[in-house]
Structure 1
Amino acid sequence: MVFLMRYSLITRFWWGQRGEERKTPWVARESLICTKEQGGMGFRDLKGFNIALLARQLWHLHQRPESLVSRIMKAKYHKNVNILEARIGYRPSYVWRSLMGVQEFLVDGLRWKIGHGSAVRIWGDRWLPSTPNNIVYSPPMGLPVDSVVRELIDEEEEKWDETILESCFPSDMVDAIKQILLRNSTEQDRLIWMDNDDGNYTAKSGYQVWLRRFQEQHDPRSVGDPALWKLLWSLNLPPKIKVFMWRFTREALASGERVNKRNPERSGACPFCDQHETQSHAFFECSWASRIWRSTGVARCFELRGDSNCMDWVRNVVKTVPVSELEEWIVLLWALWRERNAHLFNGKKMEECDIGPRAQLYLEEYRYQQEERFHSPTPQVNQTWARPPAGRVKLNTDVGLDYTGAGLGVVARDHNGAFILAAVKRIKGVRDPTLGEAMAVEFGFQLARQHQMASPIVETDCQVVVNRMAAPERVQTELGTILRNIKRLATETGGGQVQHVSRKANEAAHIMAHTKARWDIADVWFDRPPLNLLDQLASDDVTSLSS
């Protein structure tokens, strides 16, 4: 009830209510809550946000079992199970009842990240990312029903035991299991939040999950053309005209027909021709509007309309005219509606021949002001490979992905630009680009340590990996295991660095990542690079001299 009251205040403000006056909401609350890409206005739903915040508290209690409040909760409500398996119990406090109210929401978004595998049941727990609900859906075969994931791992080689997998699961599930990266069998199994890159639950990601479910349940009509809405909101137009365009496209303007339906005492006639005024009539069918369209020389808008509604007209226009012309048409629509309201409510009427030119002038002035406001020189980004400082080695790394797995490419050069080595290794089952980029950086550091390169500079064109290296211990997903190993290798090589570089400056590593190679075995070239790399090395050497 409290949420509805507060949301009522928000919607009243949105529809322009002042004081005790009442304004008509022309769009349902659910449509306003949907994101702009889904045809809404992106209003935050207070109930959903409260659920997201409560889930964050539940996540913190689960992640910090040693904290005082966690120990108090455990002693009182869930002595023998963890907080994600607890029940509401007898005579719960308001706090505990609230936490249990969001337990299902949080648990539905979690899966296990495999470490040693001893805490995760093969059948029943969520640990298999590429299957529905992240569970093993095949019936138990070859192993007891209460078996754990550790029984599927070859502990000596720290990889999946393919013999056991093939005897217990169908082939598609074997492939899905083999895609899970096994790196450190001493790491604990962890529950991670699937809708955040680092595996940690946040209120923001939780609200996005709640909103996605809300949109699917409450406003399926608006879900269907995100590309159209994205284009409309990206147009170079004043915000008030963008909002008008949203209302026009959703047919949420106060046309005579809609006003008459809400209040039969109000006339539904057009203020210019006394015909029944639908939204389509107000902009296209009215003789007054059609004369203005024709006076501007864009009469073909009628050909695009046909018998369709306003949403279909917008779709047809977007497919047919360039963006600059689309902006002009939208401003003219807004001008028509403004003049219609001025005539209806204030008795004012502008000369028809002036409406189009004034709308065009308004748009031109806005564009000019935007150019003046945002015009600034674009910073020049170094797009060429640069030599490392004297005495250091630079290793460029990249990943190449296909349906079978990933190719990890590395090229090492010294401060003179001289070639040291190139390497490629293929890894089965890797499909995630960010994970692949991190594995390529790790491969670069492994080569640097193996060949005693002191304080190497390892470059990647993946900004996410570079950013995550600032705090790898916070990343709970499989990516975190790789990042922590990179940090360890960087320390072992005497303070190695990970740097971001543009894709153009990383072409050599890109070529190596797409070079054919054997599975799980590194192919390395010393002194003489592979033939497919010669031209790029020569090009990098020339550009590095001029940079």
Structure 2
Amino acid sequence: MTAMPLLKSGCCWRVGSGDDIRIRKDKWIPNYPSNMALHPVAEEVEECMVSDLIDSDLHCWRRDFIMETFQLNDANAIFKIPLSRGRAMDSAVWLQTKNGVYSVRSGYHKARKVMINESWVESSSSVEGHQIWKVLWGLKIPSKLKVFGWRACHEILPTKVNLAKHKILEDVMCHCYKRFTETILHAVWDYGAAQDLNKRAKEFLDKYRKAQVVLTPSNGISGSCVWHAPPAEEFKLNFDVAVFSDQHNSGFGAIIRNSLGEVMAYMLVKGPHMNSSEEADVLACRRAVEFSREVGFSRLIIEGDCLNVMRALSVSIENSSLLGHIYEEIKFNLRGMHVLSINWVKRGGNMVTHTLAKHVRNLIDDLYWIEDTPPPMEDALYYDSLHINE
């Protein structure tokens, strides 16, 4: 029982139905500081459950109600939590491992962090500095940099001064400049190495922002991996996703082709903003499988270019990660279909759907077509046709 506080500090609820999760008292917002809403809510909402924030008929967040109830940063973090289309159960996930399952090693590392950080953290919900946090959480930078900035502003980084306060170290002097104490201000800003690091960080952020810009598809497609047609009487479903950070959304592309490489059906669909590339691909996969069922294709070979997603779908063991309920939903849908195989392919074998997904950026409405060739991917389709008989 003495380990229970540690386990609770390292866990987060994975939202299913939301019936068992308390809005204010439980940790249920992943990829967010403290995994809880940072700002206070109205008294009448204090005792509500997360299920009160979900439209049980449409299986989506009640956006208007959430915008009225929560501060903008908290609301946007909630909207990024993917929901199951079915009646999934709420489940506790261990955040310190990718698969969501506790291990002794991850527990040890979590215990060390708790020992260092315990009692250092204060809330960002105070009125003072509210505008600072609003700007910080709204920055288009990696989440870990936002968290670092938040920790630095609250003076909870493990500098020598802070470690000395908790009897972990005795020496508080900077190991580079012995005449200065190692405070957060000194470590982050003062000495030359920190200034050089700040310069490199700026260069990194510039590269990161440029990488988020979706480029025009290249005419040259790598020949190291190409699309292969399915056997006669069978069909192949390919899917991909493109993330548009500047638009705060994404694009799902999927196509179904026969053994001659002919297009049987395809879709271009706008998706939500994502927390990770794996989340983007698994949500694209879910929509692609739903699309294939809707248009009546059930004998399929399924291909995607995200190794983690295709591997997770290929095993029968239950997925306990933060995205586990989405994986299990896809597997449930696949049980009603005749799926020959689930394969991972390199980008060269998935260029048609990659081009489709990027084209969603320019769309206003979702597009679904049967037995037609969409103009945006004519070149990629032609390239694939050259390798049908290989």
Q: TM-score band, normalised by the shorter chain?
A: 0.5 to 0.7
2:350 alignment partner, SS class: helix
Q: 1:467, CA displacement in angstroms?
A: 1.6
Larger radius of gyration: 1
The equivalent residue for 1:121 is: 22
Aligned residue pairs total 286
Q: Does 1:389 align with 2:290?
A: no
Q: Does 1:163 align with 2:59?
A: no
**CA–CA distance in structure 2, aligned partners of residues 145 and 216 of structure 1:** 27
Q: 1:209, CA displacement in angstroms?
A: 3.7
Q: Does 1:435 align with 2:336?
A: no
Q: Residues 256 and 263 of structure 2 are in contact (CA less than 8 Å); yes or no, is this contact kept in structure 1? A: yes
Match of 1:501 among 330, 333, 345: 345
What is the correspondence of 1:313-392 to structure 2 with a 5 Å cutoff?
383-392=225-234
Q: 5+ residue gaps in structure 2?
A: 119-192, 194-222
**CA–CA distance in structure 2, aligned partners of residues 151 and 491 of structure 1:** 31
Deviation string, structure 1 residues 115-141 (Cα, Å, up to 9, x no partner) = 111211111211112431111122121
The equivalent residue for 2:269 is: 425
Q: 5+ residue gaps in structure 1?
A: 1-99, 218-311, 313-380
Q: Residues 393 and 413 of structure 1 are in contact (CA less than 8 Å); yes or no, is this contact kept in structure 2? A: yes
**CA–CA distance in structure 2, aligned partners of residues 450 and 440 of structure 1:** 15
**CA–CA distance in structure 2, aligned partners of residues 539 and 406 of structure 1:** 26
Deviation string, structure 1 residues 374-396 (Cα, Å, up to 9, x no partner) = xxxxxxx9611111111111111
**CA–CA distance in structure 2, aligned partners of residues 216 and 156 of structure 1:** 42
The equivalent residue for 1:101 is: 2
Identity %: 23
1:410 alignment partner, SS class: strand
**CA–CA distance in structure 2, aligned partners of residues 191 and 160 of structure 1:** 20
Match of 2:309 among 465, 479, 494: 465
**CA–CA distance in structure 2, aligned partners of residues 499 and 467 of structure 1:** 8
Q: Does 1:409 align with 2:253?
A: yes
Q: Residues 444 and 458 of structure 1 are in contact (CA less than 8 Å); yes or no, is this contact kept in structure 2? A: no
Q: Residues 425 and 518 of structure 1 are in contact (CA less than 8 Å); yes or no, is this contact kept in structure 2? A: no
Structure 2 CA distance for partners of 1:387 and 1:215, relative to 1, 3 Å: farther
The equivalent residue for 1:447 is: 291
**CA–CA distance in structure 1, aligned partners of residues 319 and 52 of structure 2:** 26
What is the correspondence of 1:24-423 to structure 2 with a 5 Å cutoff?
100-141=1-42, 143-184=44-85, 186-210=87-111, 383-403=225-245, 404-423=248-267
Q: 1:214, CA displacement in angstroms?
A: 8.0
Q: 1:502, CA displacement in angstroms?
A: 1.1
Normalised by the length of structure 2, the TM-score is 0.67
1:101 alignment partner, SS class: coil
Q: Residues 193 and 199 of structure 1 are in contact (CA less than 8 Å); yes or no, is this contact kept in structure 2? A: yes
Deviation string, structure 1 residues 65-112 (Cα, Å, up to 9, x no partner) = xxxxxxxxxxxxxxxxxxxxxxxxxxxxxxxxxxx3322222211011
Q: 1:473, CA displacement in angstroms?
A: 4.9
**CA–CA distance in structure 2, aligned partners of residues 540 and 530 of structure 1:** 15
Normalised by the length of structure 1, the TM-score is 0.48
**CA–CA distance in structure 2, aligned partners of residues 498 and 434 of structure 1:** 16
Q: Residues 508 and 537 of structure 1 are in contact (CA less than 8 Å); yes or no, is this contact kept in structure 2? A: yes
Deviation string, structure 1 residues 270-306 (Cα, Å, up to 9, x no partner) = xxxxxxxxxxxxxxxxxxxxxxxxxxxxxxxxxxxxx
Q: 1:179, CA displacement in angstroms?
A: 0.9
Deviation string, structure 1 residues 389-437 (Cα, Å, up to 9, x no partner) = 1111111111111321321111221101112222121112323211221
Q: 1:479, CA displacement in angstroms?
A: 2.0
Q: Does 1:527 align with 2:377?
A: no
Q: Which letter does structure 2 place at the counterpart of 1:431?
A: N
